[in-house]
Amino acid sequence: MRLSRYFLPVLKETPSDAHIVSHRLMLRAGMIRQAAAGIYSWLPLGFKVLRRLEDIVHQEQIRAGHDPMLMPTLQSADLWRESGRYDDYGEEMLRITDRHGHDMLYGPTNEELITDIFRNSVQSYKQLPLTLYHIQWKFRDERRPRFGVMRGREFFMKDGYNFDIDKAAAMHAYNRHMVSYLRTYERMGLKAIPMRADSGPIGGDDTHEFLVLADTGESEVFYDKRILDLSLGERAVDYDDWDQCAAIKQEWTTPYARTDETHDAALFDAIPEEYRMTSRGIEVGQIFYFGTKYSEPMNARVTNADGDLVPVHMGSHGIGVSRLVGAIIEASHDDNGIIWPEAVTPFKVGIVNLKQGDSEADSACEALYKELTAKGLEPLYDDREERAGGKFATMDLIGLPWRITVGPRGLKNGVVELTSRRTGESREMVPAEAIAELEAIYSEV
Ligand code: 5CA
């Protein structure tokens, strides 16, 4: 992409109504614009990051054996009356009446709709286990939408629903989701810690939230520092292996980690003092096991191996995809702007032409641009007639992890400069070497 033709409305001024760094940077970097309180348009740069996260979520869900689908944003109130949540959900639910006088709602979550789909098509335990998920916009009429996309009213969420014959099978689905979420966040360059949580309006007995540590997080968290050393890395995971998934869950849930909602001071104080940590965290996902809470009232039953009709055991599992964009920025930025992890960056490398209009600099940049593009290294080429300082400031603000700087002085010796956004370190090399380095870096992402 050439910056001269790209819609990137960066702001020089810091927006006064944005109170946390990710909100400020998303506005300044031209990623989002507010449409109404807690509702945002995603401009090209922001949309690219959102799509990257969505892709990672899909890949990891499919790897875990879950089936992607798409349910609508609008739902009929009738199903929610069956589960009893139409009245229980309260003011967070946006209720709408259509022209025929039918009660509708903008879905805050989809337990009822998916249970309805399930009960109309599945009759036997032989069709289980089954996990269906979608990534769709949700609406919750939050009393205080704030922090930009972190607590929006409209937000993009992955929600998945497992259907199993009994509690043991549903607990495997729970464990499997925990493992696949750990892998998902790790791929995004994040450390997200599973913490025992409260189930709130979704209900159920077993639930964990995934929290990313950040000073601006809304939750207070207490944890054993040693949990930060855990990583799935290259471990081969067999998502059908109950024991392996249970062992990984055990590994991550053994060190103490809880939010203020479930904090137990006595357990916490039993941890050696040097490992005891208190900080703030952003909730980027939550998994639930709630058994037959929806299948009983909604009559979602299947025949088991003995021929008896039994309600299915369910859980639901959510990832805050739009919130993650903000969470990644909270976890990865400096005074000059965003620092994207390679896995989610909107463009893989920026090209800065220090002397636009100089025929040698222009043709060196063109050659780089073509070759990087051909290799799938998605460059953003700043080909504007602007001074170097302004170009560097824009690149730093939008946070591409790598930058290639091309100027007449270097070109005299045949070299360009490759700079890391994270460390600021710059090295001179011939263009082919810079391309080869980037290829090597991105082949590992
Ligand atoms: N049905 C279940 C699981 S699919 C559910 O709705 N879970 S949830 O309420 O925990 O939401 C899942 C994730 O969506 C949260 O962990 C959070 O990351 C994200 N989320 C929830 N509310 C908002 C909001 N107002 N703005 C942005 N993201 C949100």
Instruction: Please answer whether residues 305 and 317 qualify as being in contact, where contact means their C-beta atoms are separated by less than 8 angstroms.
Output: no
Cβ distance 221 to 257 under 8 Å?
A: yes
Distance (Å, whole) CA 125 – CA 323: 36
Enumerate the H helices of 163-203 as residue ranges.
167-187
Q: What is the pLDDT of residues 312-338, one digit of tens each?
A: 999 999 999 999 999 999 999 999 999
Query: Residue 17: what pLDDT?
Result: 84
Two tokens, residue 82: 């069956």
pLDDT of 203 higher than 80: no
Residues whose beta carbon lies within 6 Å of some atom of ligand 1: 109, 140, 142, 151-152, 155, 157, 159, 202, 283-286, 288, 316-318, 320, 322-323
Yes or no: say if 350 and 338 are a contact pair by the CB < 8 Å rule: no
Q: Give the model confidence (pLDDT) of 93-103 as tens digits.
A: 999 999 999 99
More confident residue, 182 or 12: 182
pTM of the model: 0.96
Amino acid at 42: W
Place 11 in a pLDDT band, splitting at 50, 70 and 90.
very high
Q: What is the DSSP letter of 15?
A: P
Q: What is the pLDDT of residues 357-392, one digit of tens each?
A: 999 999 999 999 999 999 999 999 999 999 999 999
pLDDT at 13: 87
The residue contributing the CA closest to ligand 1 atom 20 is 320
Ligand 1 centre from 155 Cα, in Å? 8
Q: Which of 318, 305, 334 is nearest to 208 (CA)?
A: 318
Which ligand 1 atom minimizes the distance to the CA of 201? 9
Give the position, in ligand 1's atom list, of the atom nearest the Cα of 285.
16
For residue 285, report the distance from its CA to the centre of ligand 1, in Å.
7
Q: Which atom of ligand 1 lies nearest, measured to the CA of 157?
A: 14
Q: Mean pLDDT across the chain, nearest whole number?
A: 96
C-alpha 133 – ligand 1 centre gap (Å): 14
Report whether 248 contacts 183 (CB < 8 A): no
- Report the DSSP pairing between strands 416-420 and 402-406: antiparallel
Strand partners, 258: 196, 222
Using the structure block, give the residue that is written with the tokens 């009429």.
Answer: 141
Distance 157 CA to ligand 1 centre (A): 7
Average pLDDT of 35-48? 97
C-alpha–C-alpha distance, residues 40 and 291, integer Å: 35
Q: State the average pLDDT over residues 41-52.
A: 98
Task: Name every residue whose Cβ is closer than 8 Å to that of residue 153 and which is 6 or more positions away in sequence.
Answer: 37, 38, 39, 139, 140, 141, 142, 145
233 pLDDT more than 80: yes
pLDDT for the residue 201 = 72
How far apart (Å, rounded) are the C-alpha atoms in residues 277 and 279?
Answer: 7
Structural domains of the chain, ranges and CATH numbers in brackets: 3-338 (3.30.930.10), 349-443 (3.40.50.800)
313 vs 216, residue with greater confidence: 313
Find out whether 416 and 353 touch, Cβ atoms under 8 Å. no
Measuring from atom 24 of ligand 1, which residue has the nearest CA?
Answer: 151
Is the dihedral angle over the CA atoms 321, 323, 324, 326 positive or is it negative? positive
| Burial class of residue 400 (count of CB atoms within 10 Å of its CB; 0-12, 13-18, 19+) | buried
Give residue-wise pLDDT tens across range 336-348: 999 999 999 999 9
- In terms of phi and psi (left: phi > 0; alpha: psi -120 to 50; beta: otherwise), the region of 148 is left
Q: Which atom of ligand 1 is nearest to the CA of 284?
A: 18
For residue 159, give the ligand 1 atom closest to its CA: 4
pLDDT in tens, 403-419: 999 999 999 999 999 99
Q: How many angstroms is it from 323 CA to the middle of ligand 1?
A: 9
The candidate with the shortest Cα–Cα distance to 403, out of 338, 334, 349, is 349
Per-residue pLDDT at 200: 76
Ligand 1 centre from 284 Cα, in Å? 8
Amino acid at 45: L
State the Cα–Cα distance between residues 231 and 238, nearest whole angstrom. 16
Does residue 405 contact residue 399 with C-beta atoms inside 8 Å? no
**Whether the Cβ atoms of residue 22 and residue 146 lie closer than 8 Å to each other:** no
Q: What is the pLDDT of residues 152-164, one digit of tens each?
A: 999 999 999 999 9
